[in-house]
Amino acid sequence: MIRSLLNGIPRDQLSVLDRGLQFGDGLFETLAIVENNLCLWDQHMQRLQAGCARLGIAAPDCRLLRQEATRLVADQRQAALKIIITRGVSERGYKPATAASPTRILSLSSWDGPCSDPLRVSVSHRRLGWNPDLAGIKHLNRLEQVLARMDCAEDVQEALMLDMQDQVVEGIMSNLFFHKRQQLFTPSLDQCGVEGVVRKLVLAMAKDRDIEIITGRFTLDEVLQSDALYLTSALGGIRFVSEITGHDWKPKTSFHPFLAEVAERVFCKDDSVC
57 C-beta neighbours (distance < 10 Å), count: 23
Q: State phi, psi for 35 to the nearest 5 degrees.
A: 50, 45
Q: Which residues are catalytic?
A: 30, 138, 170
In sequence order, the 6+-apart residues with CB closer than 8 A to the CB of 175 are: 186, 189, 193, 194, 195, 196, 198, 199, 231, 232, 233
3-state secondary structure of 204: helix
- How far apart CA 109 and CA 64 sit, in angstroms, is 20
- How far apart CA 134 and CA 191 sit, in angstroms, is 8
From residue 42, give the alpha-carbon distance in Å to each of 62, 273, 274. Answer: 9, 10, 7
- How far apart CA 173 and CA 158 sit, in angstroms, is 8
Amino acid at site 107: S
3-state secondary structure of 32: strand
- How far apart CA 263 and CA 231 sit, in angstroms, is 11
Answer yes or no: are the C-beta atoms of 157 and 119 closer than 8 Å: yes
Classify the phi-psi angles of 237: left when phi > 0, otherwise alpha if psi is within -120 to 50, otherwise beta. left
- How far apart CA 153 and CA 137 sit, in angstroms, is 28
